[in-house]
Amino acid sequence: MSGGSGEGDERRDGERDRGRDGESNGQGDGGRDGGSNGQRDGGRDGGSRERDWGKGGGRTVRMAALEMLLGVLSGLASLCTGFYIQTAGFTWPFITAALLHLINLVYTAWVLQETVERPSHADSSSSPSSSPTPFGAGSARFPQREALIGRFQGVYLLFTTSPRRRKTVLGLILAAFAFYTVSKLGGMSIFILYELNAPLCWSEVLVGYGSALSTLIYLGSFAGVSLLSRCLRDGYIVLLGLLSVAAGLLMAAFAKSTLLMFLVRLPLLLSIMPAPVLRSMMSKIVLSSEQGAVFACVAFVEMLSIGVGITVFSSTYASTVSWFPGFSFLLASAIALIPAVLIGVVMCLRLDKDEEASRLTADDDEEEEETESCGQSLQLPH
């Protein structure tokens, strides 16, 4: 009897110990699973926040930093060019500029690598999910032609397959960017001619000082974008920059002394802000795969606007220099009001809000998740 009760007690103790072990193992596994799930969710949230920061104000500030770098280097080059012209004449500076452009062309064509690596033809043909390219077998023998056709096709699809809302915003912002470029660069291209002729009659050194002083415009615009992007919407930053352009060019139209012409750079301190902010506004409302097409359109519009602006304002200055040398600046100041009206339309229609960018970001995230799930499903078991 006592032996049977002893065996029963041992059996109950064993079951109790096994129950405790099972609970502790279950809690450990649950904690482990919860921790891994929490880390995975936290990493996904952190990645999405990082992508949102990259698509938001951070992108605008980085574009403004690039504009500032180009402006500072241009100001230093202008300062050196004044002494260079005074020492060697006007021929050697043009030869030096041509040689620098040739070096840049060689570097871009044969040294600079693509930032996005495209899959090779062998890899794409061996992939089970690959589909034949629309360019046929000849595309492998002509990769440059394929890339060029792909650029044009991307720009075409950007405006044909986009929703009406996005096409409206892109059209308005591109038009505003074009008029801003014509006004700002076209008007400021007359500065040197205006400074060399009466009533200022500057020397080459003073022209170099004036161009170098314009470096402050890029520094001021970068500081303005960095600070104002924290508290203002992009549309208001663009309007402030356009107001700076109009005020500076209006002051230049009536500058009759050396001191006043130097002080013209003060109201122009924020005149570079619209360029990076408008680029950022366009890049925020398109997919990540369409960024190249957008910036190709921006580059084309910018080069076309620069050519038109310089040609129009040079001709206007030659026609009006005898009776009012500052008329070209008045015309450029008036043209600066056109992009202000276009951006005002965008803001009144509330098309500069972030709903479109958020929707496209969500689409990008869904595409990434689908790609990851497809990649996981195609993995072979070890």
- CATH fold of 58-86+150-364: Growth Hormone; Chain: A; (1.20.1250)
Interatomic CA distance for residues 9 and 366, integer angstroms: 59
Domain range annotation of the chain: 58-86+150-364
Per-residue pLDDT of the chain (382 residues; tens, 9 = 90+): 444 455 555 555 555 555 555 444 544 444 444 444 444 444 444 433 333 334 455 777 888 888 888 878 877 787 787 778 878 888 888 899 899 999 999 988 888 776 655 555 445 444 444 444 444 444 444 555 666 676 677 777 777 877 888 888 899 999 999 999 999 999 999 998 999 998 899 987 888 788 878 888 999 999 999 999 899 989 999 999 999 999 999 999 999 999 999 999 999 999 999 999 999 999 888 888 788 888 889 999 999 999 999 999 999 999 999 999 999 999 999 999 999 999 999 988 776 665 555 554 455 555 545 545 554 544 444 4
Burial of 51 (0-12, 13-18, 19+ CB in 10 A): middle
Cis peptide before 119 (omega within 30 of 0): no
The C-alpha torsion from 114 through 116 and 122 to 124, rounded to 10°, is: -150
Interatomic CA distance for residues 121 and 141, integer angstroms: 10
Positive or negative torsion for Cα 198, 203, 206, 210 = positive
Q: What is the CA radius of gyration of the chain?
A: 31
Specify whether the CB–CB gap between 99 and 316 falls below 8 A: no
Alpha helix stretches (DSSP H) within 107-233: 121-126, 143-160, 164-188, 191-196, 204-213, 215-228
Secondary structure (3-state) at 291: helix
CA 251 to the chain's CA centroid? 30
The pTM for the full model equals 0.69
In Å, how far are 109, 182, 186, 271 from 303, measured between CA atoms?
20, 10, 12, 18
